Amino acid sequence: MFELHHLSAQEQWDWLRRGEVTPRELTDHYLARIDRLDPGDDGVGAFVAVGADAARDRADELGRAGRSTAPLWGLPLADKDLTDRAGLPTGLGSRLSRGRVAEQDSEISAVLGEAGAVSLGKTATPEFGLTGYTEPVVGPVTRNPWRRDLGAGGSSGGAAAAVAAGLLPFAPGSDGGGSIRIPAAMTGLVGLKPSRGRVPAQSGITSLGGLAVGGPIARTVADAAMLLDAMVSPDGRAPRDHFALRAPGSPDGAWLGTAVRGEGRFQLGVLTASPWDDAYDVRVDPRLLGVLRDTADQLDALGHGVEDATLPGSGYPALFRTIWQAGAAGIPAETDDDFALLEPMTAWLVRRGRELRARELGAALAGLSAFEQSVIAAFDRFDAVLTPSLALLPPALGWHDADDPERAFEQQCLVSPFTSFVNVAGLPAITLPVAEVDGLPAGVQLIGRPGREDVLLAIGAQLERRLRWHRRHPDCW
């Protein structure tokens, strides 16, 4: 039986514009699904807060104002629980922040509101967004809609689980080391990490090392492009950049058109080694290597050039660990009672970060900047580089060590060794759900040149037309 969530976000927007559904009807549909599928011990656990009354009021307000050409007019989404939405709690996945209610919207929330979206609530994230799995002690544990005993990844795990389960048409996420691409890959979605400086409200420029940027999680390439366009420019005008440094502009303007057309032939590299190989025993599941090879064959059949790619040698693992620890040093834990509320991983990162000397931090930043330049130079002969999205299939809930932070950090690198170095390099990357392995989603990652999200979206659209992954859904669909 047909239901509204079976439509893509683009199709839902078209229905809204034609008056075939109202913002209130669409909002009520998703709120009913959230109420039915999300809570409980066996629920998806995608949401930490649902603002049903505020969402209905917002939808009614949009309906009274009349149909609009705003890029997200009437479309439901939700805010990751690292960003503020006025009137809702911002828990940051931590007992330390429990009870804090936002007084005003964060900038990205305001941008999405200006674009016409209806926020249904807050999606789950691990504590302070620091891990690639969403199983915070404060709760809820986010379950993979494809198999509820498996994790949904992180740190945008709640956002991805909500989209995969049909609780949202798409969702904004943020990505400092893979936090969009990891959960999107685990739940069978498209996840796009934009270039550093691309999204003005979440550019990465203000974060240590320039790592964390905002981007879309969606079921289709076009839906991801649609949300990216709104995040960059909610009114369709030139982006309101806050800094002189910014990502190069798109050759075609808006990304939605590029994603719909899906045109072009490109030179692609294929990479199977990761910068974590020298630090840990990284082993890519042979089935996922098979998915990578099959995708390379598909791209060859589409007329793209395909050849092997390599990474430059570096001391990347030690450099990244330093910057990740330093980034946690500012978490507002000061007393023993504060630290008692933190999870072991977070407490370990905070303490290690505060032990760093300025000279160590400066050397790490310089080393990572040199690494960025070397990666861009090594990939220069390619329009995009293809890697596995993940090295392993989605792990079981509780698989990551809850007591030994060193071991848990290593486990994250074993699952997702291909993501964090892209943040360090500031490059755009997209994960595409090209296959299933034993009934679970399996994806590939495409890494682009600086500012070339258009190439990633064009290639993604070509593969989507060929592989039709938007027709695959978990049982709860």
Tell the burial category of 72 from Cβ atoms under 10 Å away from its Cβ (0-12, 13-18, 19+). Answer: buried
Q: Is 106 noted as a catalytic residue in this protein?
A: no
Q: Which candidate in 80, 109, 119, 156 is catalytic?
A: 80
Helix/strand number for the chain, H first, E second: 16, 13
Q: Rounded to whole angstroms, how far apart are CA atoms 67 and 79?
A: 24
Q: Rounded to whole angstroms, how far apart are CA atoms 431 and 452?
A: 15
Q: Rounded to whole angstroms, how far apart are CA atoms 206 and 212?
A: 9
Q: Rounded to whole angstroms, how far apart are CA atoms 294 and 435?
A: 9
Residue 33 gets which letter from DSSP?
H
Q: Which candidate in 106, 119, 156, 179 is catalytic?
A: 179
Nearest partner of 381 among 301, 310, 432, judged by Cα: 310
* DSSP E strands, 337-448: 384-388, 429-437, 440-448
- Cα 385 to Cα 85, 204, 283, 301, 370: the distances in Å are 37, 22, 19, 17, 20
Residue 277 gets which letter from DSSP?
T
- Cα 93 to Cα 88, 206, 248, 373, 442: the distances in Å are 14, 22, 34, 34, 27
Q: Rounded to whole angstroms, how far apart are CA atoms 386 and 296?
A: 8
Q: Which candidate in 8, 94, 109, 155 is catalytic?
A: 155
In one-letter notation, the amino acid at residue 419 is: T
Q: Is 374 noted as a catalytic residue in this protein?
A: no
Q: Rounded to whole angstroms, how far apart are CA atoms 198 and 213?
A: 8
Q: Is 179 noted as a catalytic residue in this protein?
A: yes
Tell the burial category of 244 from Cβ atoms under 10 Å away from its Cβ (0-12, 13-18, 19+). Answer: exposed
**The two three-digit tokens of residue 267, written as one number:** 């030179």
Catalytic residues: 80, 155, 179
